[in-house]
Amino acid sequence: MRSFGKLLTNEWLKLYKKRSFFVPYAVLAAMVLFIVYLFKSMGANEGGMLSGYEFSAWLFNKNGTGQMLTFMAIIGSAGILAKEHSLGTIKLLLIRGQGRSKILASKYVTVLLYSLTLSLVTLFVGIAAGGAAFGFQGVETGLVGALAAAGIHYAYMIVYVTITFLLGVLTRSAGASIGIGMMIVLMEGLVVQLLSRYAFTKYLLFTHADLSVYLNGGTPPVQGVTLPFSLGVIFVYLALFLGASFVTFKKRDVA
């Protein structure tokens, strides 16, 4: 367990030492501040109905700021293994006596933690900036709603980060992984809509990736589908994606 912790620390330090490490955080923070400015300048909260917590929860809409958040996570996860191949450092990593499964697991956990920090920065900046502009009223229910929205969107991010991680293992190309990953995010709604007439749609991952439909009594993606069923479908797909990633990485010749 200690060796895995060292691998995890090493992977995070490699991310942290990149010159571009803070760029996604700065972009997300600037975007949140700009949206607050727009809301204030347009008088979007003249009735005082919007609080900083509700504003922060709104930021995690998967078709708005949440989509940019997902893209940032995809970019970060795509390069964590592909860059090792392109720079040739993967060979040095493999000769240090650590198992391939442990190495790949440390990289996957790192991208999950990276995605989590992106979500937390967006959440905290949203609450702080939104609260300063619109007030902090309704803390008991508002904070719970903001945390729930952030958590549900993080689950959504995990789905696409895992897909991108698999693409990085298969293609060993950061550019291809990012391009395909982003295209899948943009096309998911259209794919589900086009295939909605077919019964097998309820078993598609894209149908269940967005769990926000279950908040506040929302309409399920497919009639009769429940939250436990959606979670089960997501779990099965993630297990398959990770299984394919580990099998491919363990059997691939990197010499």
* SS3 readout for 153-165: HHHHHHHHHHHHH
User: Residue 140: its pLDDT value, please?
Assistant: 77
Range of the domain at 161: 2-251
> Would you say residue 255 has pLDDT above 60?
no
Mean pLDDT of the residues in the chain:
87
H helices of the chain, where? 2-16, 23-41, 52-58, 65-87, 89-94, 100-134, 139-171, 174-195, 205-208, 227-251
> Would you say residue 36 has pLDDT above 60?
yes
> Would you say residue 237 has pLDDT above 60?
yes
Do residues 107 and 90 touch, judged by C-beta distance below 8 A?
A: no
> Would you say residue 249 has pLDDT above 60?
yes
- Local structure of residue 219 (DSSP, 8 states): P
* pLDDT, tens digit (0-9, with 9 covering 90-100), for 218-227: 777 777 788 8
Tokens coding 155 = 């689950």
pLDDT (mean) for 113-131: 95
pLDDT (mean) for 160-171: 93
User: Residue 254: its pLDDT value, please?
Assistant: 64
The whole-model pTM stands at 0.91
> Would you say residue 147 has pLDDT above 90?
yes
Query: Rounded CA gap, 166 and 93, in Å?
Result: 19
> Would you say residue 88 has pLDDT above 90?
no
Q: Binning pLDDT at 50, 70 and 90, where does residue 1 land?
A: low
Name the domain count of the chain.
1
> Would you say residue 234 has pLDDT above 90?
yes
Q: Considering only 52-56, 71-75, 90-94, which range has the smallest mean pLDDT?
A: 90-94
Query: Rounded CA gap, 192 and 46, in Å?
Result: 37
